[in-house]
């Protein structure tokens, strides 16, 4: 479309120069009149170019909106159908013979026959070389993906039988590549929470020690 508009405006300019030149030669148009005509054409061209760009941009945005709506229309493969309630996460977490392939590479086993038990109240670390599946293990526990084989349980209950919202509510997850949304620090920290008090919010900031650098006016003059 841009190409078409450029060609059209060049043709119009050529036509005006040609026709105007002929009229100047036969005396029906003065040189001043031709100069004025050419400058009016330039102004008209600028205006029509900016309208064309707006129209092109508008069509591009409609296309992007379509892609966005496609994402919203996707039906998640992880279903939240668990009804079993549980009190809190100070429970025994167990992986039994868990295996997993990402849906995009169904033939590549990222995790194979993994078993471990995390006793109540203990700290547990998973160590391994890059790309060996540490983050994937956490994603399976969060049920961002359904595992392909084996069982993951909390106090003997399969994680599919637990309410997904309640499971997520019990887990504090700091991902490897954190994203910040445009907005205030408070909006970022409380993202997804509808019901929280300022006391809770400040306590979280103190416990995680983010308050130490956010409350430093040199770093963030507007604070949270
Ligand atoms: N969404 C995905 N689709 C397909 N393969 C993936 C996807 N995410 C990760 N992988 C692959 O799964 C493997 C394990 O990745 P994972 O991120 O769990 O490793 P990691 O042990 O956490 O690595 P690192 O130490 O670098 O954080 C890698 O080979 C990675 O390329
Ligand atoms: Mg990782």
Bridge partners, residue 18, by sequence: none
Q: 124 lies in a domain?
A: yes
Q: Is the pTM of this model over 0.75?
A: no
Q: Residues 133-150: what's their mean pLDDT?
A: 94
pLDDT of residue 169: 83
Q: 80 lies in a domain?
A: no
Q: Residues 119-145: what's their mean pLDDT?
A: 94
The residue segments making up the domain with residue 212 are: 179-224
136 pLDDT above the threshold of 70: yes
Closest ligand 1 atom to Cα of 105? 4
Q: What is the mean pLDDT of the chain?
A: 88
| Distance of alpha carbon 131 from alpha carbon 41, whole angstroms | 62
Residues 161, 186, single domain; the answer is no
pLDDT tens digits for 37-81?
888 888 888 888 888 888 889 999 998 999 889 988 988 888 888
User: Which two structure tokens, joined as six digits, stand for 213?
Assistant: 């650098």
Q: 83 lies in a domain?
A: no
Residues 13, 65, single domain; the answer is yes
86 pLDDT above the threshold of 80: no
pLDDT of residue 125: 94
Residues 58, 98, single domain; the answer is no
129 lines ligand 1 (CB under 6 A): no
Residues 6+ away with beta carbon under 8 Å from 21:
34
Determine the residue of 107, 109, 110 to mutate for testing ligand 1's pocket, defined as the one with the most ligand atoms within 8 A of the Cβ atom. 110
If one counts the domains in the chain, the total is: 3
29 pLDDT above the threshold of 70: yes
Segment among 37-46, 115-124, 178-187, 193-202 with least mean pLDDT: 37-46
pLDDT of residue 1: 64
The CATH number for 114's domain is 3.40.50.300
pLDDT of residue 42: 83
| Distance of alpha carbon 24 from alpha carbon 30, whole angstroms | 6
Q: Residues 149-178: what's their mean pLDDT?
A: 88
Q: Residues 185-208: what's their mean pLDDT?
A: 91
182 lines ligand 1 (CB under 6 A): no
9 lines ligand 1 (CB under 6 A): no
156 lines ligand 1 (CB under 6 A): no
Determine the residue of 106, 126, 135 to mutate for testing ligand 1's pocket, defined as the one with the most ligand atoms within 8 A of the Cβ atom. 135
Q: 174 lies in a domain?
A: no
pLDDT band at 103 (very low <50, low <70, confident <90, very high): very high
2 pLDDT above the threshold of 70: no
| Distance of alpha carbon 107 from alpha carbon 54, whole angstroms | 46
Residues 110, 159, single domain; the answer is yes
Atom 17, ligand 1: which residue's CA is nearest?
A: 135
118 pLDDT above the threshold of 90: yes
pLDDT of residue 87: 66
The full DSSP string for 53-107 is: HHHHHHHHHHHHHHHHHHHHHPPPSS-----B--S-S-S-EEEEEEEE--TT-TT
């Amino acid at each position: 479309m841009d190409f078409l508009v450029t060609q059209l405006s060049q043709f119009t300019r050529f036509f005006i120069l040609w026709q105007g030149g002929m009229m100047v030669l036969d005396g029906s148009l003065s040189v001043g009149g031709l100069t004025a005509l050419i400058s009016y054409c330039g102004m008209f061209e600028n205006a029509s170019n900016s309208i064309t760009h707006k129209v092109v941009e508008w069509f591009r945005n409609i296309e992007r909106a379509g892609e966005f709506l496609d994402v919203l229309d996707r039906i998640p493969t992880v279903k939240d159908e668990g009804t079993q309630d549980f009190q809190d996460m100070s429970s025994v977490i167990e992986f039994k013979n868990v295996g997993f392939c990402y849906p995009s590479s169904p033939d590549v086993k990222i995790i194979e026959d993994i078993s471990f038990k995390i006793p109540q109240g203990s700290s547990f670390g998973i160590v391994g070389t890059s790309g060996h599946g540490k983050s994937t293990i956490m994603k399976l526990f969060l049920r961002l993906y359904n595992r392909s084989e084996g069982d993951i349980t909390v106090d003997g209950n399969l994680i599919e039988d637990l309410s997904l919202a309640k499971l997520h509510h019990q887990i504090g997850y700091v991902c490897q590549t954190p994203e910040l949304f445009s907005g205030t620090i408070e909006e970022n920290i409380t993202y997804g929470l509808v019901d929280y008090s300022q006391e809770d919010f400040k306590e979280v900031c103190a416990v995680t020690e983010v308050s130490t650098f956010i409350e430093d006016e040199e770093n963030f003059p507007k604070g949270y």
